[in-house]
Amino acid sequence: MLTSVLLLAALSTVLVDRRHHAFAAPGASGAGQTARSLKEIEHVVIFMQENRDLTVSSGKYFGTMAGTRNFADPNVQINEDGRPVLIQKVTPARQGVNTLAPWHLAHQGGAWAEGAQCATGGSNGYDYNQASLNHGKNDRWQYFGEPANWGYLKRSEIPVHFSVAEGWTVGDMYQQPTQTESCWLADLSTSQEAPRSQETAERILTTGKCQVIIMQSKSICMCTANKVVGCPLPNINCYPLNWQTCYELYEDLGVSWQVYQDRNNFGDNPLAHFKKFRDAPPDSPLTKKGMSYPGLDKFYQDARAGNLPEVSFIVGPMELSEHPPWLPKDGAWLQQQVIDAVTQSPKYGKTVLLISYDESGGFGDHVTPYHATKGTPGEWMKDYLGVQGDIFVGPGWRLPFYVVSPFTRGGRVFTEHADHTSQILFVEEWLSSRGYSNVTLPSMVHWRREHMSNLVSMLDFENADTSVPNIPKAEVPSKNALGAWDGMAKCKARFGNPTAPWKTQPKTFPPKGLIEQGYKQVIGSLTEGRYLVFSAAQDKNEYLVSHKGGSKLGVISKSSTDAMRYAQPDTRFVIHYYNNGATDLETRLTQQDSPFLVSTPDKKRWIGPEGTLVESRDAAAPVDIAFDAGLKGGSRGYSMKYATGGDSGFITVSKGGVNIGKAPAQFRFNVLSVSYDE
């Protein structure tokens, strides 16, 4: 078991409003004064739910959401057999069918809109996940799994999740750890160091529900849910844990913190698995702040009164955790309670709420995990079961993730590589900006510190907005006569797992009309997986880079009030990792930084030197596309520059067209991720 997420988009002009702009009649918040910089933020709230994934299955919440790395992925991995990862091999065949495309868990209609809520995706164990991953091919989810692990939900089943994600900012490249139990313990799964790696001081970094960081003098791996004192194998699954957590560091620094939990916490407070917390005296700060049960009602009271500590961690009750088969809609109600308490606080203007899920819960993901190159200290290990050989143990499949704050309003998509480590890095950056010293956790695996986002780019202080989007009112979870939540029990008593549409699958995937139409503003360093529009605003017009001209890039002028201005096919581009021309699978999964090659959606034309359009990838020119968060006085947005062009190689646009040369002062592109059927 491990932790969860939230969120809403539609068609034509109305669709534009729902997908990118605020919702009609946004509500007021408790706001108070609003922070103008990172150091003025006073409260960080961390709320982690259970076992849901980003795109495919019932855990896969946002596979149909416009403007994200959804099912319409232009960079979908295609394996040596010519099959895209979205289309999974089925072994043995089912009903004479040997492939399975993502399928809607409520496709049977009628009452199955309710039955899909308690669908389960099968095992999320270490052995199953590694077998499904198949050394990066990511093609064996149906060799061992329940067909529902390749199913998905739509907006109609999870409207609150959609609306929260789109009302604020959603991250579509946020990864779980590959080792799910190390996921659980912090909700310990997320990052951990590999045993048998070469680093002198082998470390495990685990974060999750409690953002726990681990350090050991020798390598240890928490790979499965062992809760028996001792080590079943040398340095494997040892219990209890005895390294320092980040909350001990916060205590040493004088940072105020509190774990808010009820007694029915699903065992999801990872601090309970650490020897130092288990042995702490009843009156010690570790016990009072980390092991007591103040309850979620206490969190709501403290938030609304403006009395939260600097760092709050919320552990929800089992029945509202969204862990399959518990219901997403019940978790949506809990998320809404948390969000309402935070946004109604007089300190909302100085608060950041991070909402995530601990791991994917056995549900698959078509995006193979970005990870470190083989042999990277702390990131690779020998499979302790002796089956898979060398395996990477860092970031894994994507999870739902969104950030609620005045600085993340507006329906944006954050595209940087991130994982549970990122929440710790964010707290480090924030505490450092507030004058704390020695905030860096030495136990963090170096590769993750260097390659996972610290999330700071998500925050736009210049355009802070304390209004609250119009979130649909979540249904109150069902309770029995004794006052216990019983939504899952009722669902399971009525429904089994949904049946896959083996013989009625679409001939092509995704079929037309499945993906919601619209766009989102992109923020953060770019990654593959979206159709992009590059726009620059001047006066009341926007100039969009276009490939309509044939042999050279051009511009199309659109009114900034035109709701469909980003729907033009000849303004869409796709980026590809350059990597000095290397296209092998290992390189593509481990080297994902700028510069990029940029193509048209059909890959028939590529951006070449001096703004030309060329007909082959080999003739394309690599382009650096860099995001400036505007935190150091610059303009917020993107620059585009030929990787070998120096200061004279910038790509800019004006009324006259595309220009190559020195960039005008403060010139920035706005990048949109668009989802439109042709």
The domain spans of the chain are 32-65+159-360+390-458, 530-675
pLDDT at 210 over 50: no
- Residue 599: which pLDDT band, with cuts at 50, 70 and 90? very high
- pLDDT band, residue 647 (cuts 50/70/90): confident
Dihedral sign for Cα atoms in the order 433, 164, 568, 101: positive
Residue burial 195-232, b: 16+ Cβ < 10 Å; e: rest? bebeeeebbbbbbbbbbbbbbbeebbbbbbbbeeeeee
pLDDT of residue 200: 24
Q: What crossing angle do the helices spanning 159-167 and 328-343 adopt, rounded to 10°? A: 40
Residue-wise pLDDT for 253-275, tens only, equals 999 999 999 999 888 898 988 89
Q: What is the mean pLDDT of the chain?
A: 87
The whole-number average pLDDT for the span 354-376 is: 93
Note the CATH number of domain 32-65+159-360+390-458: 3.40.720
pLDDT at 193 (0 to 100): 46
Kindly give, in sequence order, each residue whose CB lies less than 8 Å from that of residue 508, ignoring residues fewer than 6 positions away.
Answer: none
Strands 650-654 and 637-642: antiparallel
Q: Residue 213's pLDDT is what?
A: 29
- 458-487: per-residue pLDDT in tens? 999 999 999 999 999 999 999 999 999 999
The closest of 162, 213, 210 to 187, measured between CA atoms, is 210
Six token digits for residue 138 = 């990511």
DSSP state of 320: G
Element holding 276 (H helix, E strand):
helix 275-278
**Interior angle at CA 158, CA 154 and CA 160, nearest 5:** 135
Percent of the chain with pLDDT over 90: 71
Question: Which CATH number is associated with domain 530-675?
Answer: 2.80.10.50
Q: What percentage of the chain's residues is helix, strand, coil (to nearest 5)?
A: 25, 25, 55
Give the pTM: 0.91
What element of type H or E holds 675? strand 670-675
What pLDDT, in 10s, does the model give residues 285-306? 999 999 999 999 999 999 999 9
Tell whether omega for the bond before 664 is within 30 degrees of 0, i.e. cis: no
Higher pLDDT, 202 or 377: 377
Which residues, in sequence order, are bridge partners of residue 413?
170, 522
Name the burial class of residue 463, with classes exposed (0-12), middle (13-18) and buried (19+) by CB atoms within 10 angstroms of its CB: exposed
| Greater model confidence, 438 or 18 | 438
Residue 215 has pLDDT above 60, yes or no: no
Lowest-confidence range among 12-21, 86-95, 127-136, 520-529? 12-21
DSSP annotation string for 130-151: HHHHTTTT---HHHHS-GGGGE
Would strands 531-538 and 541-546 be described as parallel, antiparallel, or unpaired?
antiparallel
**CA-CA distance, 670 to 11, in Å (whole number)?**
22
Phi, psi (deg, nearest 5) at residue 450: -85, -25
